Amino acid sequence: MKLALHGATGRMGLAITRLAHAAEDLTVVGAVCSSVDPGQGKDIGELAGVGPIGVVATADLGSGLLGADCVIDFSVASAVPGLLAVAARQKMAVVSGTTNLDAAGKQALEKAADSVPVLWAANMSLGIQVLAEVVAHALRRLGASYDAEIVEIHHRKKVDAPSGTARRLADAVRSVRPDVQELHGRDGEVGMRSDRDLGVFGIRGGDVVGDHTVYLLGPGERLELTHRATSRELLAHGAIAAARFVNKRKPRLYTMADVLG
């Protein structure tokens, strides 16, 4: 399978480059980055530390994606609609892990999925997908007497909060309790917790790759369902698994649940 990378010079793009270089069934044929990225014009293999592979990072979407079967995107939300439009025209599958998409970005995902297979996930980890499923199952089994709260921890350089993964887990809670109301902080005399509250809180510091805990707190007991990422490569592995899955699939919008079957 021929891969193009969008957001190629970022940490995820370089991690995927390293894994693809080591895989017998994958070849990186394109690399797209921002026009102000210092990696522009450089060989993506050298940037990833695997040596030259003959693919130079470019800010030109058309040429950067040309010839690919699938593009893997870890960029910024504002760049996603343009990527999807080009991918749909060039008839290539899309795997995107870019978070914080606005309404226009989500609409662009749906439009592109009319023409090509598209998989979007806030977190490409297979474990996070299973955690979300476990959370929904546990809430159904435990009932309304158990409160749900979410805490996520990330490195000090992360710029958004709550994380896209925390929002994904909040959606898992919402699938069982559609009337929940997210809270992103408590301060002062806020009164007792309501049955609709769902606290989603972010902690930042150090070099933490990503920890997410869903607390289910009931009378006399609590469950703590935790996922800890120890390497960013787990997300790269998940993205490649997703690319292998969507390649040659029928056009529609897929999720990591589809990858797990």
Catalytic residue among 154, 212, 248, 250: 154
Locate the DSSP E strands across 74-143: 93-96, 118-120
Reported as half-sphere exposure (CB side, CA atoms, 13 A), residue 19 has a value of: 20
Q: Is 9 exposed, middle or buried (0-12, 13-18, 19+ CB in 10 A)?
A: buried
Backbone angles phi, psi at 95, to 5 degrees: -120, 120
> Do residues 201 and 152 make contact, with C-beta atoms less than 8 angstroms apart?
yes
Active site residue 158: yes
Active site residue 154: yes
Record the tokens describing residue 3, joined without a space. 């891969």
Residue indicated by tokens 């994606």 = 65
3-state SS assignment for residue 189: coil
Torsional class of 6: left (φ above 0), alpha (ψ -120 to 50), beta (otherwise): beta
Torsional class of 67: left (φ above 0), alpha (ψ -120 to 50), beta (otherwise): left
Rg (CA), the chain: 20
Catalytic residue among 21, 111, 158, 237: 158
Residues forming the active site = 154, 158
